[in-house]
Amino acid sequence: MEAMKISNADRARILVHALPYIQKYTGKIVVVKYGGNAMINEELKDSVMRDIVLMSLVGIRVVLVHGGGPEITQTLTQLGKESRFVDGLRVTDRETADVVQMVLAGKINKSLVNLLENCGGSAIGLSGIDGHMIEACVKDERLGFVGRITRVNVKPILDVLEKGYIPVVSTIGCDRDGNVYNINADTAAARIAGELNAESLISMTDISGILRDKNDPDSLISSIRVQDAAALIKEGVISDGMIPKVECCVNAIHWGVHRVFIIDGRIPHAILIETLTDEGIGTMFIQGETDELPL
């Protein structure tokens, strides 16, 4: 199919339209939690990397936080090791923890750094072990080395940002005894964004946002005050796997993030649409009085 032709005048109008949003975000920190189909589909992956590089080049201080559950499962399968889950969390024995570290801090992290560099950006890969960035303890004995975050040290991230690089953070943690923990990427991104006092946290998912009616795509709730989230969970509007994601969004606001977005990562250039246009997509969480939700 022939690409849509855009005149130079149209290009200029698009850039001018984006100017106030660029001015709003320039110099501010935006944390992107990268996951879902946008991490698997090559075309979507390319659009995410280009979005992040563009934002970085106009002065937005982007931090990319990623997990990698599907690749961990695939690697474990190749090694002949079965994946087991309890309450949606991967049971992580010591051997599995080694695989998690290898896949997240090695293969995925460095692949993302390479992609960003190939798109014209400058990136450095970090893991939660570097500088004891993410310290953790056992979350539940049944899960093994699945971590509950006890402390986040964002100095390594700030040092990388200060040098003009995009930090790419893999969500593994450690303790003072040298144990490595598998950390939920949504939780890690929320804590990191809070410690950074980020302007925004953008969480990429495989849904269009929070729908009032899950069967009606036109019932998207464009913004939610954090004090209203618990009621939406109680009503069943927010249910199943979205509950922990929303809890992370609410806690991110509680921890100091100015606004949090759940966006549809299946849409090409979803990050730019959300940050640099007045249309936006997905659901935004904004400040309000609330108690911290459990993680």
Looking at the annotation, which residues are catalytic?
A: 33, 36, 69, 186, 245
Q: Are strands 61-66 and 85-86 parallel, antiparallel or unpaired?
A: unpaired
Q: Are 197 and 29 in contact (CB under 8 A)?
A: yes
Phi-psi region of 44 (alpha: psi -120 to 50; beta: other; left: phi over 0): alpha
Short-list 250, 272, 253, 149, CA closest to 198: 253
Contacts of 29 (CB under 8 A, 6+ apart): 61, 62, 63, 161, 193, 196, 197, 198, 199
152 alpha carbon, distance to own chain's centre: 16
Residue 139 corresponds to which tokens in the numbers above? 């979350």
Q: Are strands 61-66 and 166-170 parallel, antiparallel or unpaired?
A: parallel
